[in-house]
Amino acid sequence: MRSKTLTIVVSVLAALTLAAQDKKPMAKSGILHPEMKVESGTYAEPMATIGAKPDQPWSATTIAAGVNKQPQPGHAVSVVGEIVDFSCYIQLGKHGQAHRACGQKCVQNGQPVGLLTENGTLYMLMPEEHDPRRDGGVDAKASASDHMGHIVRVNGTEAQVGAYRAIYVLGLTK
């Protein structure tokens, strides 16, 4: 019986030791592949500003479109981060100057636009105005493509549902 107990204890310790060796160290910043560098803009000095600062969280068309004319809660924000192709960043961890051309193609062909902050928070970026967005009158593709892989300041309305975060940007044109 002692032999079986000792065998089990040794097996468990060996399994724990192997599991501990397989773990990769966490990135300090929370950004995937920090070796993929951004060459335009810094978090202290973003290279551009996208979006107008909203006077109120939601535009008239968004309020009118809300259930009982009440959109989900949101608040005005000004956030600095890198413009990324949301899909490639989540799937492959790609961003920065080395991914700029691919990211531009992805957003121009309908992939979602993201804003990656210095601490690794990833926001989806969308035009704020509901009816123009629905009807194709506003689009985030042009500004996202122009600034793909750059660090910029984004003004808009932040909304969150569960773990999903978005910034709705006022004043994007097509």
**Predicted confidence (pLDDT) per residue in 101-139, tens digit:** 999 999 999 999 999 999 999 999 999 999 999 999 998
Task: Please work out, in degrees rounded to the nearest 5, the angle formed at the alpha carbon of residue 77 by the alpha carbons of 151 and 105.
Answer: 40
Going from the C-alpha of 157 to that of each of 58, 107, 140, 168, the distances in angstroms are 7, 21, 15, 5
| Average of per-residue pLDDT across 18-34 | 61
pLDDT at 2: 59
Most confident of 8-12, 21-25, 74-78: 74-78
pLDDT at 172: 86
| Average of per-residue pLDDT across 34-57 | 95
Examine the pLDDT at 171 and tell me if it is beyond 90: no
Predicted TM-score (pTM) of the model is: 0.81
d(CA 159, CA 152): 19
Close Cβ partners of 171 (under 8 Å, ≥ 6 residues apart): 51, 52
Spatial contact of 36 and 95, defined as CB atoms under 8 Å apart: yes
pLDDT at 174: 73
Q: How confident is the model at residue 79 (pLDDT cuts 50, 70, 90)?
A: very high
CB atoms < 10 A from the CB of 75, how many?
Answer: 10
Spatial contact of 46 and 80, defined as CB atoms under 8 Å apart: yes
Q: Which of 1-10, 71-80, 126-135 has the lowest mean pLDDT?
A: 1-10
| Chain centroid to CA 156 | 14
CA nearest to 83, candidates 102, 103, 101, 106: 103
Tokens matching residue 130? 């509901």
Tokens matching residue 12? 């468990």
